[in-house]
Amino acid sequence: MTDPLAGVVVVDFSRVLSGPLATMMLADLGAEVIKIERPGHGDDTRAWGPPYHGGDSTYFLAVNRGKRSAVLDLATERGRAAARALAARADVLVENFRPGTMDEFGLGHDELAGVNPRLVYCSLSGFGSGRGRDLPGYDFIVQAVGGLMSITGEPGGEPMKVGVALVDVLAGLHATIGVLAALRRREQTGRGAHVEINLLSSLLSSLVNQASAYLCTGQPPVALGNAHPSIVPYELLHAADRPIALGVGTDAQFAALCAALDRPDLAADDRFRTNSARVANHERLITELDRAIRPLAAEEVLGRLRDAGIPAGPVNGVDEAFALADRLGLRPVREVGDGEGTVPQVASPFRLDGVSPASTRRPPGLGEHTEEILAWLRIAEAPPA
């Protein structure tokens, strides 16, 4: 299979999570990604441990496969000159500095677009390049101020963040989509674009039904624990030995659920017969379902629900989740690198004609490819013989 982005050169000035995730996905699709890092320190996540794998932070390893690392000191003219030379030859540039920082380095969009009009320049920030330009763009803070924590956690309990830096992940995905769209438009116009992504807007767009409910009713949603504001039952129920996630999206599924639990009377009860009625009588229904499920082992309950076609599953640990994906033939793990230098990685979720187009190059050591990249620039700049 031909890599979709073969021949595309990406210069990656980003660090931590949102930008590196976007550039890793571009690398998985075949792009040549050159990661620019600070002398002596590199990407902040190189120091974010434990845990470590072979001396490398597992956080850094998570989002940097498929790249080459070059150390450039942007505080020096020599470093900035090399960076400008890279940008002049690149198809894509990704950065997530504080807005205005790249301009201070002489590497802002407007200046580089004058040198390389075909450049797709992607900027990620916390709160945009306008009034929020000086606000710190940390995922946890954006989860807080962006409303996500207000709808996560138990009713009446302390607001709770999601267990992963989800807003950074969402922004990285949005950045990748924006870059791909700009590359496609460049095919039509011959010109690049300035793709701008900010974490707050990425989060608000990802609130989907919760945001829509607020915009249409004026009532802000609240935390419901594991319950759903518009679908019942859609939450955790407790079997004798472990909790079960149950999702019943239609009245027909609810009738099948009641039959599987030997409680057909619940499906005939006007308080529960329709989804709207179940939402209105949520607590009563969950009490009845709990009485039916709690005496049974989870394996028995899940077997009944599986036979009845009811969406349900156990609450797995991360280890069990990987084991499930492996049993289902989804090949969730791949080793990248060669010999003793291999690193286990989460496989790319992409499948193109049945093939996962993930890079096999292991995450780079700090400055591992600096001389190689600088030599490439010198060759590129040499006059023809």
| Domain residue limits, the chain | 9-206+331-381, 234-320
Residue 384 CB-density burial (10 A; 0-12 exposed, 13-18 middle, 19+ buried):
exposed
Give the full edge-to-edge strand order of the sheet including 312-314. Answer: 234-238, 243-247, 312-314
Among 379, 363, 375, 384, which Cα is nearest to 24's? 363
Q: Which residues of the chain register pLDDT less than 50?
A: 382-385
- For 133-177, write each residue's pLDDT tens digit: 999 889 999 999 999 999 999 999 999 999 999 999 999 999 999
- For the four alpha carbons of 76, 194, 137 and 47, in that order, the dihedral sign comes to negative
pLDDT of residue 43: 96
CA separation (Å) from 257 to 117, 247, 262, 304? 60, 10, 9, 9
Can you tell me which residue has the tokens 């009446």?
Answer: 156
What interhelical angle do 370-381 and 77-89 show, nearest 10? 70
pTM for the model stands at 0.92
Q: What is the pLDDT of residue 353?
A: 87
Neighbours of 350 (CB within 10 A): 13
238 touches 294 (CB < 8 A): yes
The CATH topology of domain 9-206+331-381 is Rossmann fold (3.40.50)
Q: What is the pLDDT of residue 51?
A: 96
- Given 12, 28, 56, 168, the catalytic residue: 168
Rounded to whole angstroms, how far apart are CA atoms 118 and 191? 4
Residue 372 one-letter amino acid: E
C-beta atoms surrounding 92 within 10 Å: 27
Residues 6 or more apart in contact with residue 231 via CB below 8 angstroms: 247, 248, 249, 275, 279
Q: Is 262 a catalytic residue?
A: no
DSSP of 73-103, one letter per residue? -TTSHHHHHHHHHHHHH-SEEEE-SSTTHHH
For residue 369, the Cα-to-chain-centroid distance in whole angstroms is 27
Under 8 Å between Cβ of 42 and 20:
no
Residue with tokens 């030379």: 85
Q: What is the pLDDT of residue 340?
A: 66
Pairing verdict, β 56-57 and 52-53: antiparallel
Neighbours of 72 (CB within 10 A): 23
Alpha helices per DSSP H over the chain: 18-28, 58-62, 77-89, 101-104, 109-115, 139-145, 166-189, 199-206, 208-217, 251-260, 264-268, 275-280, 282-293, 298-307, 318-327, 370-381
**Tokens linked to 132:** 């929020």
Give the number of C-alpha atoms closer than 13 A to the C-alpha of residue 310, restricted to the C-beta side.
Answer: 27
Neighbours of 119 (CB within 10 A): 25
Topology annotation, domain 234-320: formyl-coa transferase, domain 3 (3.30.1540)
